[in-house]
A and B are shown apart, each in its own frame.
Chain A
Amino acid sequence: MSLVDIKGLDVGYLRHRTITPAVIGLDLTVGASEVVAIVGESGSGKTTTANAIIGLLPANGRITAGSAIVDGIETAGARERTLRRLRGSVVGLIPQDPMVGLNPTKRIGAQVAEAIKLRGGTDDALDFLSEAGVPDPQLRARQYPHELSGGLRQRALIAIALAGKPKLLIADEPTSALDVTVQKRILDHLSGLVREQGISLLIITHDLAVAADRADRVVVMQGGRKVEEGDPATILSSPRDQYTRKLIAAAPRLAHSGRVVPRFDVRGEDVPDAVLTLTDVSKTFSVSDTRRGRRGFNALDKVSVQVPRGRTHALVGESGCGKTTTLRIALGLESATSGSVVLDGTEISGLSWNQVRPLRRKAQLVHQDPFATLDPRFTIEQSIVEPLVSFRIGDRRSRKARARELLDQVALPASYLDRLPRELSGGQRQRVAIARALALEPDLLMLDEPVSALDVLVQEQILQLLADLQKNLGLSYLFVSHDLSVVAEISHTVSVMSEGRVVEEGPVAEVFTNPRSEYTRELIDAIPGRRADAA
């Protein structure tokens, strides 16, 4: 018998005395030492399924039909006491976001030890930390979560999950919160561990490419139902469902059988004049250190970047590489320690806030998190016209007309003008954020990880929208991302950054086919979908 045996499972959420279904008639099995991936977008029911397996449905979650047997125990309708015996010791959970997954006021070692003690074990917490790939476990065990990087926190969470000696591990969106190369190393390590120890692994992800790379069997879910199931090779080569086909088309590597083919090839073309030029920009932050006094930290070291008019230039690199600092300096939000920033022919470094302000109309920012970037109390119209109000452009009527026009440009109906952000999905919010950025008719949009918080299919739609806008309005983009697969879909040229320096630059088509630096090669290698060439 399988470790997890789900038959005809219906799960719903109780809201205002009615049950909204989240999972409908699901059949799913996970065998011993099997790696299964559930793929689907937000609202597909994949996370609800995982929660049902570990008995962690929210208080208003109800299993309304079917059965979910985990390690011989029926969880549908089970009491808290029964479910508690499953958690930790039968099913371990590796939560989605390692930055917030650990208790901030408890030491790492104590958090691991708690899991050991619960199953009555006497093992050393340090063993699990080193097993999870935490270097120097003695030191790390004494530290608090905020003293660890995201990657180390993820490993600490894996150690906690392993400490319960579970038969099944659930990894919830293991690729969404961390840098691609870090996440790849961690997933490689995790895959190795489960294979060695014969633990089953259930991966929950929105990215079919990740699922195909890691799993023995892939289950595709949409709207609470299972739409396709099979081994990755079969699914990739002959998908039966329309939705699966869309998912394959949205993953750059899967679409071209394992190769990453950039959308634009500008090799050999004339380079248009630059709308934004950064020359030898350096930035030193002063860091206070009680032992050594104040010292300088070089966030940027002689960075030169050019954004050609009407094109997209990407800044790629991992957290801390300086790409966000570069963006902030280009926007005039931060001043460079040395070097020059020329925006549309005007040198902006050294200018005061008031002097930079008129230039803000030429360059606008689109933020990473569409959920945090819109004021929750503003209607969509208020958000979009705010830049116009701020620069005193037009009157009430002309602003409203402009808001309509902008919504039309980002392919949202005019009826959305009166809505509030919470009524919109992530993709729709990002469209609103783009509309707001376009309100002042800028020449240049600075896009800070604009799709990293979105599902793969929504990512593709937003990237398409950006490409269309560029063509129609002649916009230039400075596109910041940690994800090379997204860069391949949107950019003409790219600068790869590492530790405050540009390590490689050139047309995307050139950099992807002939990466010169080891670091670029590692980034390209981290794009999921390698298994597609086997298919």
Chain B
Amino acid sequence: MTRYVVGRVLQAVVVLWAAYTLTFAILYLLPSDPMELQLAAAGLQLDSLTPEQLAAGKAQFGLDQSIAAQYWHHLWAALHGDFGISLTQQTPVTDLIGQRIGKTLLLSVSAATVALLAGSALAYLATFARWNPLRTFLTRLPALGASFPQFFIALFLIQFFSFQLGWLPATGSEGPSSLVMPVLTISVLNSSILAQVLIKSFDETLSQPYITTARAKGLSRSAVHLRHAFRNAVLPAMTILGVIVGLTVTSSIVVETVFTREGVGKLAQEAVLSQDVPVVLAVVTIAAALFVTVNLIVDLLYPLLDPRISHTRTRIDPEVVTAV
């Protein structure tokens, strides 16, 4: 077991490193001059500097070194939590993100939780319902939810709850009421995806012979559904948990922009527009870290939920196991 965990953690580290390196390569090999970007942010033209000033500036940011040297320098710094200085705002990237990450994490965690609960509940009801019209309606609902673009849902919610009813603030990030609509916006898509996978998994599970065994014991429908079908149906759906958490991060870019929440998503959106390379690199790295961590947790949870997956017991040829 320990061997498995260590191997799996190492794998996660490699994935994270690959994500960082790939992003670094893409961003730093883009045909734009970081010096020019910085000067433009300060309202200056590249031509207005003397060659000496330019060289001094390049030396200050390490831009006179080779790509490899820059890469190692940045990677080493990033490992120590230093993502450099924002080109546009002239403040350390770590500080910029540090001020905003709390709000984004709150949004992401709430949205993921709501998506998880709503998606599971919907799938559970859709497969448990016996009245055919209701069953059909609930089964098709996720397809509808997954087909609306998020900005559209966000604008619809603002129009309805803020402008028509005036219940919730349309923008801002103060207080719990400002969280409701962003969370709803993100979780509509995510819960729909989860529900679609879960419904399929439930249908598959309910057609298994062991469900017949459970019913033949005399268990009620609800007992069969909860005690025998649920856990087995959830197992194949667990893999998409990682995807869903990843999606909440991507979604936060759209949602924070629409609701003008001062979070990492909005920071990322602004950084991309102004080609603020260190900020983009830091955001991508943090998102990748989150994604890798969630997938790692899911992988480590699997053996606890599915006794068939075990990393300690003897593995034998299947032909041999069936022998009495």
Contact = CB atoms under 8 A, between A and B. Distances in A.
A95 B213 CA distance: 7
Given A146-B307, A325-B319, A157 B213 contact: yes
Interface in B201-232: 208-210, 212-221, 227-228, 231-232
Interface in B272-324: 305-308, 312-317, 319-324
Interface in A85-132: 85-89, 91-93, 95-97, 99-106, 114-115, 118-119
B217 A103 contact: no
B217 A100 contact: no
Interface stretch (A1-9, A19-27, A287-295, A417-425): A287-295
Contacts of B315: 287-288
Given A84-B218, A84-B220, A288-B314, A320 B322 contact: yes
Contacts of B306: 104-105
A182 B215 contact: no
Nearest to A115: B217
Nearest to A54: B216
B314 A149 contact: no
Contacts of A324: 319
B213 A93 contact: yes
A87 B212 CA distance: 11
Interface in A273-306: 285, 287-291, 297, 299
13 contacts: A87-B215, A100-B208, A103-B210, A103-B228, A114-B214, A118-B217, A144-B308, A157-B213, A287-B317, A288-B315, A299-B320, A320-B320, A320-B322
Size category, A interface: 35 or more
Interface in B101-136: none
Contacts of A119: 218
A80 interface: yes
A164 interface: yes
B212 A182 contact: no
A510 interface: no
A163 to B, nearest CB: 8
Contacts of A318: 323-324
A458 interface: no
Contacts of A106: 227-228
- Interface size class on chain B is 20 to 34
A147 to B, nearest CB: 8
A187 B319 CA distance: 23
A96 B319 contact: no
A80 B221 contact: yes
B56 to A, nearest CB: 61
A297 B232 CA distance: 33
A150 interface: yes
B160 to A, nearest CB: 39
Contacts of A95: 209, 212-213, 216
B314 A290 contact: yes
Nearest to B322: A319
Given A105-B307, A164-B217, 19 more contacts: A56-B215, A80-B221, A87-B215, A88-B217, A88-B218, A93-B216, A104-B308, A115-B218, A118-B219, A119-B218, A144-B308, A160-B217, A285-B317, A287-B316, A288-B315, A290-B314, A297-B317, A299-B317, A320-B321
A320 B209 contact: no
Interface in B124-176: none
Contacts of B214: 103, 114
B210 A104 contact: yes
A409 B209 CA distance: 37
B312 A290 contact: yes
A164 B218 contact: yes
Nearest to B215: A56
Interface string A435-464: 000000000000000000000000000000
B10 to A, nearest CB: 19
